[in-house]
Amino acid sequence: MGERDTKPAPPPVAGVSEIYARGLRLFVQESYNKALATLEPLAERADLAGVMARFYRGLCWRGLGVRALIDGRLEKAEEYLNSAQAILGRRSDLYGYLASVYALTGRHEVCASAAEKAARYAERDCPAVRRRCAQALWRAGRRAEAHMVLAESLRVLGRRSELLIQQGLFFAAEEHRAEAREALAEACKLNGADPNAHYYLGLAAAADKDPVSAVSALQRAVELRPGDVLVTWQLSLAVRAAAEAGKNVTVRVPEPERICSPSGGTELARYVAAEPDFVDAFLSLPESDVDAELFGLLAEVLTAALDEHPNYADLHRGKALVLERLGRREEAETHLHRALSINPDYLAARLDMARMCRLSGRTAEALSHLGRVLAAGGDWPDVHCMVGRLLRHRGRHSEARRHLQRAIELNPHYREAAEELESLAA
């Protein structure tokens, strides 16, 4: 009988069970680095002890990645989570955390890819993961696919309020107002205790020039979340719009002690910290005569959020953009510097910094920031156009031409880049 091929047994490790038990205790205590070092001698074994050691080492990398993500150390978070993925394989939570890292660093296409994988490997009944997948696709410019994800999720999982809210927001962004209101109204019926559903329905009604319906929805949102001064402010605007339209509305004011509850501002600050798109949504509003009050309030909320999360780079960027809207550019730049000190690869913040430098006439500094964006993979038409414009003003026409041509190559319909190129040829 011939000999069978067998793999050589791993070298014996003294006290395998003791090492494994010690590593497991350290993992449970969340001493992840110590657990990794303890379990390392077992990681190459082919027996059960080796398999379990590798599994828990993967969980340690995952724990370190989540901790780094919470602390705003995004480069380390990505490194740790990729190490975890190499061991643990296709796990929805790992792809979800990686999607968060990519979103916070402005890498929307890879964020969408990671979010799709998170949804693919998630448990079937998991609408939150599918909603985040749709959001990531939307940010990456893949709007039709985002709608398809929601439509498929609603078909497979049933009519879920969180999915309908997202569908309503997508419709509203595309100015399909009737469809937006229909989706949001259904979300309110399914979960009447969700203040967000009523709040967004109120905003959709206001955008549809229906102040009476807006007041009704926002009134309900205020009742559910009386400490949210932003919702109350939106209600006051809707009441004013109804009065200007000659409509009589009745407003029920919450009890003063509930409005003044100290938890109200904290709740809103925590919501802003958890939803980076919240600030962007407000910044997209057209300028109006209430900007000082509205964005002054938002600046205070962001200050409260930063008190709780001082190392969140996206909160510093949000505060910077709000301060810029208020005309306080010097303070805005301070927060952008802070965001970049936390995460030097935060491309969105670096682009904002370049734009503010350009507006202040600091061309060389703006070009330095833009150069770092390009070096980090930001091969985007608007970046090349801005670089080309700045180089043209500095008399570096040959370099400017190359960047403007690249902008048009990436986007043949980029009129601004074409006009800059024509100015060079004149």
pLDDT tens readout for residues 105-139: 777 777 777 666 766 656 555 777 777 878 878 77
Q: Residue 336 domain-assigned?
A: no
Owning domain of residue 46: 10-89
Q: Report pLDDT digits (tens) over 28-47.
A: 888 888 888 888 888 787 77
Please count the structural domains in the chain: 2
Last residue of a domain, one of 66, 89, 112: 89
Q: Give the pLDDT of residue 108.
A: 74
Q: Residue 384 domain-assigned?
A: yes
Q: Residue 266 domain-assigned?
A: no
Last residue of a domain, one of 89, 108, 125: 89
Q: Give the pLDDT of residue 416.
A: 87
Last residue of a domain, one of 40, 68, 89: 89
Q: Residue 195 domain-assigned?
A: no
Q: Residue 229 domain-assigned?
A: no
Structure tokens at 280: 């962007």
Q: Residue 156 domain-assigned?
A: no
Number of other residues whose CB lies within 10 A of the CB of residue 396: 14
Exposed/middle/buried for residue 203 (C-beta within 10 Å: 0-12, 13-18, 19+): buried
Q: Give the pLDDT of residue 270.
A: 66
Q: Across the chain, which distance is largest between two alpha carbons, in Å?
A: 99
Q: Residue 255 domain-assigned?
A: no
Q: Can you list the residues of the chain whose pLDDT is less than 70? A: 1-14, 89-101, 103-104, 114-116, 118-125, 227, 229, 251-278, 281-282, 284-291, 426
Q: Give the pLDDT of residue 320.
A: 93
Structure tokens at 10: 């791993």
CATH number at residue 423: 1.25.40
Q: How far is CA 311 from CA 107, 234, 271, 379, in A?
A: 20, 30, 16, 28
Q: Give the pLDDT of residue 172.
A: 86
Which of 57, 61, 163 lies closest to 119 in space, CA to CA?
Answer: 163
Structure tokens at 185: 């109204």
Q: Give the pLDDT of residue 3.
A: 40
Which of 156, 205, 210 lies closest to 185 in space, CA to CA?
Answer: 205
Q: Give the pLDDT of residue 7.
A: 43
Q: Give the pLDDT of residue 6.
A: 45
Q: Residue 64 domain-assigned?
A: yes
Structure tokens at 310: 């001082």
